[in-house]
Amino acid sequence: MTQTQERPVSPIVAFSRDLEKREDKFRELLPAHISPAKFRSSALTAVQHNPDLLSADKASLFNALQQSCQDGLLPDNREGALVIHNTNTAKRGQPANWVAKVAWMPMVKGVLKKIRQSGEVATITLQVVYHGEEFDFWVDEDGEHLKHRPMFEGDRSDNNIRLAYAMVRLKDGDLQVEILTKAEIEKIRAASKTGSKGYGPWKDWYAQMAKKSALHRLVPKLPISSELVTLIERDREIYDFDQEPRDVTPPKPQQGRSSRLQQFIGDDDSTSEEEREHENA
């Protein structure tokens, strides 16, 4: 009797089958406006655009997809992304054992979408400031004030980014502002397990990551739920802040425009890209 050999299944087909097996679990976690079929299609597109995801640790890939479901965001590189990072799984004292793992990372668009749904925020502005743009920030007895006049021509490359900031006005009229210097942005990027290696989100979406970093710094000041804080902090897995600690101490308010602005800008010569995230809810 001749034994027929099964054809080997391609990784993308095997992944698609695994998604189908988990459809009931996804349905439990997804919000009503996202169907399991839509989510599955988004996940398949994500791995087609980045086939290395299928070579990474399988458990971490499906854990990242589960977190995407829990957050009610699609892994479409707009609301959120699946990113690869190397993790040393060896115990202390043993030789290093580096494993490629997948992490779920909500993107700026997805984070803004969820913050607006909280009902506490009137407007959100996330921007980067380029060298050559008019920018001023000061604090006086009336609170914090920010003035930014973007340029729409000229050098808008990542290398020309000078600052990044997040500005939120709450429904009660309260204004919250957080500003990151280029040096602070670079410190955060250096702590990324992918940021200094020539690939990953900091290479592909530098301006977006800079703006999101400013938002991370601002979040503790906002009246939002613990679930939303968890969503915003999802991507801490791809950072090593023990090795490259981030200074999360807010700058001390000072009166006067020039001294406060100089504290943020310093003598940094690097430049930046400006892009406003001020979408309708």
What is the residue-wise DSSP string for the chain?
A: -PPPPPPPPPHHHHHHHHHHHTHHHHHHHS-TTS-HHHHHHHHHHHHHH-GGGGGS-HHHHHHHHHHHHHHT---SSSSEEEEEEEEE-PPTTSPP-EEEEEEEEE-HHHHHHHHHHTS-EEEEEEEEEETTSEEEEEEETTEEEEEEE--SSS--STTBEEEEEEEEEETTS-EEEEEEEHHHHHHHHHHBTTTTTT-SHHHH-HHHHHHHHHHHHHGGGS---HHHHHHHTGGGGGB-TTTS----PPPPP-BSHHHHHHHHHTT---B----------
Is the pLDDT assigned to residue 29 strictly greater than 50? yes
- Higher-confidence residue of 241 and 179: namely 179
- Higher-confidence residue of 153 and 256: namely 153
Those residues whose C-beta lies under 8 Å from the C-beta of residue 47, and which sit 6 or more positions away, are 12, 15, 53, 54, 82
Which of 39-53, 144-158, 187-201, 256-270 shows the lowest mean pLDDT across its residues? 256-270
Q: Are 129 and 164 in contact (CB under 8 A)?
A: yes
Q: Are 208 and 107 in contact (CB under 8 A)?
A: yes
pTM value > 0.85 = no
Q: In what order do the strands lie in the sheet with 161-170?
A: 121-130, 161-170, 175-181
- Whole-angstrom distance, CA of residue 142 vs CA of residue 89: 52
- pLDDT, residue 90, reads 82
For residue 33, the tally of other CB atoms under 10 A from its CB is 7
- pLDDT, residue 3, reads 58
Confidence band for 242, pLDDT divided at 50, 70 and 90:
low
- pLDDT, residue 5, reads 64
CA distances from 71 to 36, 62, 94, 258, 264 (A): 14, 14, 36, 41, 33
Least Cα distance to 81 among 95, 97, 67 occurs for 67
Is the pLDDT assigned to residue 21 strictly greater than 90? yes
The phi, psi pair for 151, rounded to 5°, reads: -100, 150
**Average of pLDDT values for 237-251?**
47
Confidence band for 86, pLDDT divided at 50, 70 and 90:
confident
**Average of pLDDT values for 19-38?**
94
